[in-house]
Amino acid sequence: MKKIILICAILMTSFGIQAQKAEINPEAVNREGNSCNHPKLKMAGKPDLSSSQREAMKAAHQKYYTQLAALQTQTNLSLKTFNERKDLLDVALYQQKQNILTPEQKQQLADQKMAKRKTADEKYEKHMNVISGKLALNEDQVSRMRKLHETNKGEFQKIKENPAFDKEEKKMQLFLIKQKAKTEMQQILTPEQFKKMEAMKGSRADKNAHPKQS
C-alpha cells in the first residue's frame, strides 16, 4: 500500500512539473512584439512604436522563447528551480522591453497608468458613498474601510507590476489578498452590515451576469 501511495505521489509531482513547463509557440507574438499567450509581458497601453522598435521587441521575445524552450528540455529540474530560472528570463525580457522604449514612450505609459488609477479612484469614491448610505456606516468604519482599500490597492499594484509573476501566480496572490481583506472587513462591520454587504455584492454580480436586454 505504501509503495502504491509513493508511486502516485511521484506521478502527481511529475505531472505538475510538466504542466508548468507547457510548450510555448515562439512565433506567437503580435505586431508590437508582445506575446499573445504571455499576458504579463504585455505593456500597458499602446505607445507608437517605430518599425525598428517593433523588430527589436520581436527579437527580444524570440530570444526569450528560445531560452524558455531550452529550459523546458531540462526535465531533471525541480519545479522550484524551473520557476526561479523562468522568473529570471521574465525579468530580463521586461528590462529589454524597457530599454527599447524612449523616455517619451515611457512617460506615455506612465500617463496612461495615472489616468486609469484616477478613474478607478473616482469609481471607488462613488461606491463608498453608496455603501456608506446603505449600510449606515459611522465615521470610524468609513475611515478604516478607506485605509484597508489603500493598503490593498498598493498590494495589488505590486503584484500586477511584478514581472516575475505569471498570470496564474498573479491570480493566486490577488485571491489571497482579497480573502485577507474579507476577513478584515468582518472586523470593521457588524455581522448585520457584513451580511447586507455580501448580499449587495451577490445582487451586483447577478446583474452583471444577466444584463438587461435593450
Determine the Cα–Cα distance for residues 188 and 193; give it in Å rounded to an integer: 9
* pLDDT value for 2: 44
Determine the Cα–Cα distance for residues 175 and 192; give it in Å rounded to an integer: 24
Mean pLDDT by 10 residues, the chain (214 residues): 44 43 41 39 64 93 93 92 90 92 91 88 90 94 94 89 81 92 95 92 64 55
DSSP codes of every residue in 166-191: -HHHHHHHHHHHHHHHHHHHHHHS-H
Domain locations along the chain:
106-208
CB 78 within 8 A of CB 29: no
* pLDDT value for 196: 93
* pLDDT value for 206: 58
The residue count of the chain comes to: 214
